[in-house]
Amino acid sequence: MSKITTRSFDSQAFDTLRRSGLSPILARIYAARGIASSAQLETALARLISFDQFKNIDQMACLLADAIEAEKRLLIIADYDSDGATACAVGIRILQKFGAVVDYLVPNRFEFGYGLTPEIVHLAHTTRQPDMLITVDNGIASVDGVQKAKSLGMDVLITDHHLPGDELPDATSIINPNQPGCTFPSKSIAGVGVIFYLMLALRVELRKRGAFKNKQEPNLASYLDLVALGTVADVVKLDGNNRILVQQGLKRIQQGLACAGIQALLNVAGRKMRQTTTYDLGFILGPRLNAAGRLDDMSLGIECLITDDMAKAVDIARQLDTLNVQRREIESNMQDDALSKLEDLLHAERAQIQSTYSVCLFDHNWHQGVIGILASRIKDKYHRPVIIFAPGSDGEMKGSGRSIPGFHLRDALDLVSKRFPGLIVKFGGHAAAAGLTIHIDCFEEFCKAFETVAQLLLTEKDMTRIIETDGDLNESEMNMELAQHLTHQVWGQGFPQPTFNASFCVESQRVVGEKHLKLKLKKESSNGETIPVSNHTTYDAILFFHNEPLPDVIDAVYRLQINEFNGRKSLQLLLEHWSQVEVQTVS
């Protein structure tokens, strides 16, 4: 069940934004996203929060500077998603510029699981013999792994952004905006942002030591393309600081200054650098990079991002593109299978999904690398917290969960672990996404325990999907100028791309590409009467992945976009949601 509501906004903020010169529609959009002054929309690098607000960052910078001077062997331990890969690439590239002896190791998710585990520490020690381990996008929960590393004589520097557990690892130093006592205000910064900030602090420390007297000081802004990609792909909240990082990174990409790997990934996807948007980072590049970690080894993705050899980057990008095609096929088959299983579960009682507050599914044939995507798809369809499991090793199963607003998934798993001791082997994550491991013979027991906690924390009202829009647009606002402005703004998690809703008469419709619906829509007035025909009241529209005809009159949630075809640009409405309108007949 879905309900469409219009975002509220602060009238005082709206008035302030209007006085600064913004149009009424833009003032309304930005005020609804917490923007109270035009200064908050500025994305100059000078507006970035200072690195010195990170707890322990000066200490860690000194430790790294000492290690570089002593020519110690540094080893970055990365995560196997886009945030981890870009964070690793930022660390490798900048540390090498600073003269460090540095390499990386990324756990294979199917062999070692997530984070700095004792097993990955042992592998690092036996194959690389590092003096110091540096985690990126992981480590805050690696109590046992850090203990193992210290027993083998290795220092451990943890850079992470995930929520800590009850116990912090006994690392040499930790920087994490979410650790106790850290005053860095951007708690939503991605892992790639954390390592970038550490590199800023390290550059200052090296500058103090005279490290750049005889060589050029690196311009760290040149690595913001990687920071932007990791930040958007990790779906962290785009607060003001993150928007600056992303906007500056996008600017570099659009100016043709991206690293070889990002250029190659855009090229194989058929995207133009000068037109790159946050959509491209999150839905085009991110999935191709993630495909390496999901199906193979994220080392392939990292190599794409750290090479300066364009031919090598293109070759790897093609491999990643192929892996992404395979990932989509696996995901599609798993989704069909999962939906079939849900239908079987609901066959006896069709209302069962309305009476349950969660969904847990498992199949012996499902792939660990794709269960997170599947959980997201099922969550979107049924608007329930969902956990999808796949077989692990040694009698265990791996779960990946996605949640809905009002249900903090990691906290819910923590509650399950406390109320049902021993049921969960290990877990971790965020409010919206989490991962866990359980014993395979505990699946049914876990499903019941998770449902118990879901019923405790959720209400029936939470089960209704709320679709927030920015209201209706008048005829004068539905134009290319507004579409162009919205296209070039940074949107994402916590700063959603504007959507609008209105009633339309479907003038014509046809299927294109066998699976999409191309339409011509005529806007209706608020009282249901069709607006008199003019050059501005009929709009081209597209509804992706839907090839069944729509009714004559619909309520639609849409975005403005610019359609470019054969060198011609035109306004197009991208439909995101629709429902049938009951037409009243006058007798």
Residue that terminates a domain, selected from 427, 447, 463: 463
Whole-model pTM over 0.85:
yes
Region of poorest pLDDT, from 49-58, 253-262, 291-300, 515-524: 291-300
259 with 355, same domain? no
CATH of the domain at 238: 3.90.1640.30
Rounded Cα–Cα distance for residues 522 and 532 (Å): 9
Assess if residue 102 is contained within a domain.
yes
Together in a domain, 459 and 492 = no
* 480 within domain boundaries: yes
Determine the Cα–Cα distance for residues 304 and 285; give it in Å rounded to an integer: 12
Same domain for 238 and 149: yes
In a domain, 11, yes or no: no
What CATH number is attached to the domain comprising 382?
A: 3.10.310.30
Is 339 inside any structural domain? Answer: no
Same domain flag for 208 and 131: yes
Q: Is residue 186 within 8 Å of 201, Cβ to Cβ?
A: no
Residue 23 lies in a domain: no
Lowest mean pLDDT among 178-182, 378-382, 467-471: 378-382
Mean pLDDT of 219-230: 98
Which pLDDT score is estimated for 533? 44
Domain check: are 216 and 354 in the same one? no
Asked if residue 120 is part of any domain, the answer here is yes
Residues 368 and 381 in one domain: yes
The predicted model gives 1-12 an average pLDDT of 91
**Which of 336, 381, 390, 332 is closest to 361 using CA atoms?**
390
User: 449 and 506 share a domain?
Assistant: no
Same domain membership, residue 205 and residue 352: no
Instruction: Give 334 or 238, the one with higher predicted confidence.
Output: 238
- With a CB cutoff of 8 Å and minimum separation 6, the contacts of 502 are 472, 473, 523, 524, 555, 556, 558
What CATH code is carried by the domain that includes residue 532? 2.40.50.460
Residue with tokens 């025909």: 533
Cα(174)–Cα(476) distance, rounded to whole angstroms?
A: 53
Q: How confident is the model at residue 357 (pLDDT cuts 50, 70, 90)?
A: very high
Domain identity same for 171 and 233: yes
If one counts the domains in the chain, the total is 3
Same domain, 75 and 212: yes
If one compares 16 and 367, the residue with the highest pLDDT of the two is 16
Q: What is the pLDDT of residue 394?
A: 87
Domain termination site, one of 307, 322, 337: 322
pLDDT of residue 336: 85
Q: The domain containing residue 149 runs over which residues? A: 47-322
- Is 187 among the domain residues? yes
Domain for residue 138, yes or no? yes
Instruction: Specify whether 456 is located in the same domain as 473.
Output: no
CA dist 449 to 355, 420, 424, Å? 16, 7, 11
Nearest to 404 by CA among 360, 447, 466: 466
Among 322, 337, 367, residue at a domain's last position: 322
Could you count the other beta carbons within 10 Å of the beta carbon of residue 441?
Answer: 10
- Is the pLDDT at 7 greater than 90? The verdict is yes
Query: Phi first, then psi: what are they for 569, rounded to 5°?
Result: -105, 135
Are 317 and 415 within one domain? no
pLDDT at position 526: 52
Average pLDDT over residues 429-447: 91
